[in-house]
Amino acid sequence: MKKTLSALVLLVILVALPMLGNATPYSPTSSLIQNFGYISENPVTAGTKLFDVQALESGAKFIGNIYPTTSGSWAEIRLGTTGAFDLSSYDSFMLQIGNFNENPWAYSLYITGQTNGVDYLVQSAWSTINNGSTGTLKLDFTGLNVDLSNVKGLGFNIGAIVPLPGQDYTFETVAAPVPEPGTIMLLGAGLVGVGLYIRRKRA
């Protein structure tokens, strides 16, 4: 039992420490993610669209099509929300992305806003997430010369050289909040507490 508890504590520490290195990452709530919708596409084609947004217990599932103007060329769609966001106290924007399509898709995060009356768009590097896999995306604010207190929109992009193998144009993507480091530590403390309680009961 001691070995099990030690392994549990170590696991919690290993998971939480990398996230604690980020002072204050921002991740949208499930309710905000569930309000994400179609923002734009590149290139503009009649076939690129968002069909459905399904609310989940954590985040939402997005289903749609992406069509290029020329078969076998890059195409993307932007999903997100607009509003007024003050992200000046955060050092990054993070989102958990799950790809439930049968092919890989590429993803990136973005924010839009205004700095001195001039519109800006900042996005993270594209990351490929394989089919059936989940990844955590991060848009680092370090060194950005933009007004983070005046963010007007945020969300994520889905893209690829389309069609994907098997003539696939359809994406099925789940977006969810990334747990805060404090939440992870509380969960770990709770698990350790349960373990100690069980050990005392057996003793």
Task: Give the model confidence (pLDDT) of 151-199 as tens digits.
Answer: 999 999 999 999 998 899 999 999 999 987 544 443 443 444 434 444 5
Closest CA to 26 of 202, 201, 180: 180
Distance CA 12, CA 154 (A): 30
Distance CA 30, CA 17 (A): 24
Angle of helix 2-20 versus helix 181-202 axis, rounded to 10: 170
Residue 179's pLDDT is what? 87
pTM for this predicted structure: 0.79
What Cα–Cα distance (Å) separates residue 175 from each residue in 8, 120, 140?
Answer: 28, 24, 18
Residue 45 identity: T
Closest CA to 160 of 83, 37, 75: 75
